[in-house]
Amino acid sequence: MIPFIVKATVSVTPYMGDTYDVEDIRIVMAKDTAEAYTKYKDYWQSKSEEYSIYYGVDCAVMETIL
């Protein structure tokens, strides 16, 4: 596993509320950039709950220096 830096804008939409954006930077352990991207998006999608809150993600994955 290789550490990747994921920089993202997360759109947060509460049920019946206004959408707002949050900047997020995390380190994701993955085999390649595609897997890091998928893990990050899956993390936020798993936090979404119907009739409660929805998270949308626009992110960039960068390799780290080892």
Q: What was the pLDDT predicted at 64?
A: 85
Q: What was the pLDDT predicted at 65?
A: 76
Read off the pTM.
0.86
Q: What was the pLDDT predicted at 48?
A: 93
Q: What was the pLDDT predicted at 55?
A: 95
Higher-pLDDT residue of 60, 66: 60
CA–CA dist 38, 51 (Å, integer): 24
pLDDT tens, residue by residue, 2-44: 999 999 999 999 999 999 999 999 999 999 999 999 999 999 9
End-to-end CA distance of the chain: 12
CA-closest candidate to residue 43, choices 31, 53, 28, 32: 28
Classify strands 53-63 and 20-30 as parallel, antiparallel or unpaired: unpaired
* Domain layout of the chain by residue ranges: 2-63
Assigned token pair, 66: 């080892």
